């Protein structure tokens, strides 16, 4: 029941933001309103939450003014350029992939970054949630942080997953 309320709040928040004129928020392309069967199958409190796996997929920004920061980059706490972010949620299915119909951007500071995250989101690999030893669909949320300027390829690992469930 909680997950249904959570999903409804996310949908309402995304529609409210879109109504307020922020085109960077809301469902990714191809996302639909969740049907009742999908809502009913989502496990609200799995024994183990889904986790993003390292398959090398990172959001690629088209204009190259921003680059995504890995957790290693964030832990360094170095001064860089201005930062922007995208918060996205979706349901990780039992095969370890995001159900594209459930991809919703809940926070974003840039339309271009939103598109980059949406494109990468459905290509990322995850370990599915577990409940009583069984793989189950569950909600997953992640914040992607971007920094203005050129990426330092010598000090960052582009294959390192950015984490997940960080809010």
**pLDDT attached to residue 43:** 92
**pLDDT attached to residue 50:** 96
Would you put residue 165 in left (φ > 0), alpha (ψ -120 to 50) or beta?
A: left
**pLDDT attached to residue 31:** 76
pLDDT along the chain (167 residues), means of 10: 50 48 82 73 93 81 66 61 86 94 91 90 94 96 83 47 47
**pLDDT attached to residue 112:** 87
Q: Tens of pLDDT along 66-110?
A: 666 665 655 566 666 678 889 999 999 999 999 998 999 999 988
**pLDDT attached to residue 51:** 94
**pLDDT attached to residue 22:** 77
pTM above 0.85, yes or no: no
Give 28-33 contacts, CB < 8 A, sequence gap 24+. 28/88, 28/100, 28/103, 28/104, 28/105, 28/114, 28/118, 28/121, 28/122, 29/118, 30/100, 30/101, 30/103, 31/100, 31/101, 31/102, 31/103, 31/104, 32/101
Map out the domains of the chain as residue ranges: 2-148
**pLDDT attached to residue 160:** 45
């Amino acid at each position: 029941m909680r997950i249904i309320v959570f999903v409804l709040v996310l949908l309402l928040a995304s529609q409210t933001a879109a109504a307020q004129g922020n085109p960077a928020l809301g469902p990714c392309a191809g996302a639909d309103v969740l049907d009742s069967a999908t809502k009913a199958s989502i496990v609200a409190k799995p024994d183990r939450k889904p986790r993003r796996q390292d398959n090398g997929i990172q959001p690629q920004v088209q204009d190259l003014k921003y680059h995504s920061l890995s957790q290693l980059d964030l832990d360094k706490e170095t001064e860089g350029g201005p930062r922007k972010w995208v918060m996205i949620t979706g349901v990780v299915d039992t095969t370890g992939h995001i159900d594209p119909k459930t991809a919703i951007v809940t926070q974003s500071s840039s339309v271009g970054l939103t598109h980059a995250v949406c494109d990468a989101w459905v290509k990322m690999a995850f370990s599915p949630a577990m409940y009583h030893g069984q793989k189950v669909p569950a909600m997953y949320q992640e914040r992607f942080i971007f920094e203005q300027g050129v990426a330092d390829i010598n000090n960052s690992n582009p294959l390192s997953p950015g984490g997940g469930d960080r809010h």
